[in-house]
Structure 1
Amino acid sequence: MSTAFVAPEDIETETLEAAVKARHWLHRHPEIALREYDTTHFITDQLASYGIETRQQTASGSADDRSDHQLGTGVVADIHGLQGDGPTLALRADIDGLPLAENADHPFASLNPGMMHACGHDLHTASLLGAAKELQGHRDRFRGTVRLLFQPAEESELGAQKVLAAGWLDGVDLIVGYHNHPGLPVGTVGISSKAIMSGNYRFDVTIHGKGAHGSRPEDSADPIAAFTAMSAQIQTIVSRNVSPLEPVVVSITQVRSGSAWNVIPSDLEFHGTARAFNRHSAELIQERLTRIVQGVSDAYAVRSDLDWSVRAVPIENDPDLASALARSAESYALHVIEPQPSLGSDDFADFQHSGIPGLFSFIGSNGDPGASGWHTPNFEAKDSALPYAIDYYTHAVDTLLA
């Protein structure tokens, strides 16, 4: 197999071809959060072929095989440099796909019905496998330890928190990761000392009213009418409480109620997400949402339950790491940019907030006019982004473990 692009001089052609082949296999076989069993086996087998032994742990803390560690899926492994003792640097890639049917005609489209890599985690995983192969073959270039973290369940199920609880990052001094960005051209690497992805907050509301026949609305405590009022007021949380210069989003995304066209239902549930780059804004949204739900419920004689949960905190990059890796990127990237922040989120932030200095960046993966964004059936990350992603990892090691 040969790639459709030229490998950079510092990446072996064999490594890049293996990474492309791995990426295509992963894309054909997407698996959703905490069910990435075949993906886990594939990663483990690939690492073994490079002479890298995985180090999963059972709940009791003793070493065991890949099928019986604490999380059930995901892979962690170490590569020890030959230049002596030094820090432990974790390189992270997420491995899960999404419950979304793919609309693509390329030869490595998903074979798993209703599932696809609509966020490019297959690219992330393949690039870390490529970096692992390079680093294992050049251990004389660095000191300390590189910890390879193939994280499950980034899209849901709080995978980063589970990884931390399992102790997979115990002893790690620094951590580096990235996300592909279809809006940026291939060859672009975006590195910033600022927050580049927002916090992700979920709200779930259930309105308990009183049902009645549609011909007798006076007998009801109508949850639909209450929801309509709540929805209108929720739209003012940002517009009337947050400066227009500050990026904040509140969106209602799901509404469920009723089972008959002529009956006013007794209950209604709605769900949504909020995005913010700082704790103050997140707390303001939660406080205003709580007051709106309670106030409208009282006015409409219904009772409501509100649950607010933190799905991911904002990315907070370490300025020293950002500066060092931005300078390093100039040696391999076509364009090194200060990226525009995204109101998307990534639980890589949990590693940073646990006290591990970290850097999370964007790597251009498409850039074509009209390229589909993350979490869409037509999402496409290009193979040609792989060498830049591999270089991002290996240059991080060269820079931080020199």
Structure 2
Amino acid sequence: MSNMLEKAKQIEEYVISFRRDLHRHPELSNKEFRTQERIMEELDKLGVPYEKVGTTSLIANIKGGKPGKTVALRGDMDALPIIEETEIDFKSENQGVMHGCGHDAHAAMLLGAAKLLSEMKDELAGEVRLFFQEGEENFSGAKMIIEAGGMEGVDACFGMHLMPGLETGYVDITPGYRMAGCDNMYVRFEGVSGHGSAPHLAKDTIHPASTFVTDLQGIVAKNVDARHPIVISVGKFDGGTRANVVAKYTQLDISMRSFTPESREAAIEGIKRHAKAIAEAYEIKSEVILEESAISLYNDEEIVEIASQSAIEVFGEGKNIALDKFMGSEDMAYYFEHAKGAYAMLGYRNESKEAIYYPHHEKYKIDEDALKYGTALHVQFAIDFLSR
């Protein structure tokens, strides 16, 4: 097999054109119906079999000419509820919806990988499974693919995300915890209504809830191992009905990011304990509801070693640069519960093209020169893993 980057360059315009088509027609999580149709059209042209799963996801299969292991490659494809403020020619035509996280490029790179792999399938030993995944932004898509049996028999899993922390032509493939897990917690305090002129005859909840909010960061400082970072943020504080009515109810919406199971559990128990203690101190009731959004993402050392060698083949020596861990979350982590995996950060920073903004920004743009690298890396990793 010849140099994979050279192969990717030969279909670069195909990948870029497909990415621009998706960018022009973005669709929100679990509503990627046109996106699914377009991918199926291309897979049909390539002769790559697939099945629909979940709401709009696809699982495609490329079986090699020889028996062997199974590797899964994943590309997400949902957009965000953002009003795009770029001046590109292929700007979103779906008002209020934008591919502001690069999932259009992720899907296009995976399609490019499907094209290259389908052309060399007779040389492959084993199977490459391709996950065109819906709903990453709401952490629903990976679970749907897993529930549909997508990870059955998979020996390794690989994915990537475009990031501006690195310039185009660089990549970050690092072992260990790479992205945080995310939990939402809803804390509700219940007291007794009364007139604002006589708070002693009622049981206010706004003051206790305020005390609880100021107390939260003490949990981070005093209950969680400082070597394992955690972030607790109160995003919503809702209490009371009007100025002269003592608030019977106050509810807080909390977002929590963590890496290790130990730090996560310590924080959850701390939040429950503090809410209960403060409620008891003010003679009111408390309730804490936990909603898991995503688990932390851990790159397996063995798979990272293989992917790092693949990166050398594609990018060259010295182009794998370790970035700091991200407190953001990714549902790619759910695949890693079923098979060892690695998640790479693919650089797209290019100031001359204004490709400088982080995901979820209304002026988000990528350097499309990065797409050939991602396409080649998908293919190179699949080949390298299956050949071991």
2:375 maps to a residue whose letter is: I
Aligned partner of residue 195 in structure 1, secondary structure: strand
1:141 equivalent in structure 2: 123
1:318 aligned to 295, 300, 323, which one? 300
Are 1:372 and 2:368 an aligned pair? no
Larger helix fraction of residues:
2
After TM superposition, give the deviation of residue 169 of structure 1 in Å.
2.1
Q: Would the alpha carbon gap of residues 257 and 117 (structure 1) be closer, same or farther in structure 2, given more than 3 Å must change?
A: farther
Report how far residue 134 of structure 1 moved.
1.1
Map 1:3-402 → 2, pairs under 5 A: 8-13=5-10, 15-56=11-52, 69=53, 71-82=54-65, 84-260=66-242, 262-333=244-315, 335-354=319-338, 356-366=339-349, 368=351, 371-402=356-387
Query: What is the deviation of 1:352?
Result: 0.9
> Is the 8 Å Cα contact of residues 349 and 355 (structure 2) preserved in structure 1?
no
Q: CA deviation at 1:211?
A: 3.4
Instruction: Name the amino acid aligned to 2:286.
Output: S
Q: Which amino acid aligns with 1:292?
A: H
Q: Is the 8 A contact 1:197 1:277 kept in 2?
A: yes
Whole-angstrom CA distance in 1 between matches of 2:84 and 2:244: 37
Whether the aligned pair in 2 keeps the contact of 1:181 and 1:362 (CA below 8 Å) is: yes
Offset of residue 127 of structure 1: 0.5
**Which is richer in strand?**
2
Secondary structure of 2:214's partner? helix
Q: Is the 8 A contact 2:350 2:367 kept in 1?
A: no
Cα contact 2:100–2:360 (8 A) shared by 1: yes
Structure 1: segments with no counterpart, 5+ residues? 1-6, 57-68
Write out per-residue CA displacement over residues 23-61 of structure 1, whole angstroms, 9 at most, x where no aligned residue. Answer: 1121222222222211111211121122222123xxxxx
For structure 2, list consecutive stretches of 5 or more residues without a partner in the other structure: none
Q: Report the number of matched residues.
A: 380
Partner Cα distance (1:393, 1:264) in 2? 59
Same amino acid, percent of matched pairs:
31
Deviation at 1:301, TM superposition (A): 2.7
Kept in 1, the 8 Å contact 2:257–2:327? The answer is: yes
- Backbone CA RMSD of aligned residues: 2.1
Q: For residues 329 and 218 of structure 1, what CA distance do their matches in structure 2 show?
A: 67
Which amino acid in structure 2 is aligned with residue 43 of structure 1? I
Normalised TM-score (structure 1): 0.88
CA positional deviation for 1:291: 0.6
Report the TM-score, using the length of structure 2 for normalisation.
Answer: 0.91
Contact 2:355 2:365 in 1 (8 A): no
